[in-house]
Amino acid sequence: MPLTHIEHVLVVADDIDATRDWYARVLGMRSGPHPDFGFPVHWMYLGERDVVHIGPSAKNAGDIQKQYLGRTSQRSEAGTGAIDHLAFRATGLRGMLEHLRKEKIQFSQ
């Protein structure tokens, strides 16, 4: 059973609405339907596929989320989320670089 693609990535953030807005504005994803987990989440879609799930960071997690995800640590490190980076395959490199510069997104080539 070989892997074929990333199903989804969970991003935990201090401000899930601002994180949702960033994925929409910068990467062109759209917020879409998701199950009711009993705590706030956003699922970001590319086409019909949910690829990024966004939930509250540990410091903002309620009891239901902590039980669901097994998250109990309240320790906070520098940064805004619990992942190092995401990589997406895309086309139109020149246009994407211009878009990232316009949005003032730091990147390296």
pLDDT tens digits for range 36-77 = 988 889 999 999 999 999 988 766 666 766 666 665 445 555
Predicted local distance difference test score (pLDDT) of residue 31: 97
Q: Over 80: is that where the pLDDT of 24 sits? A: yes
pLDDT tens digits for range 4-19 = 777 888 888 889 999 9
Give the chain's radius of gyration (CA, Å): 15
Q: Are 103 and 26 in contact (CB under 8 A)?
A: yes
Instruction: Please give, one letter per residue, the 3-state secondary structure of the chain.
Output: CCCCCCCCEEEEECCHHHHHHHHHHHHCCEEECCCCCCCCCEEEEECCEEEEEEEECHHHCCHHHHHHHCCCCCCCCCCCECCCCCCCCCCCHHHHHHHHHHCCCCCCC
56 CB contacts (<8 Å, ≥6 apart)? Answer: 12, 13, 14, 16, 39, 40, 62, 65
Predicted local distance difference test score (pLDDT) of residue 60: 66
Predicted local distance difference test score (pLDDT) of residue 5: 77
pTM of this structure: 0.72
Tokens, residue 78: 């520098």
Mean pLDDT of the chain: 80
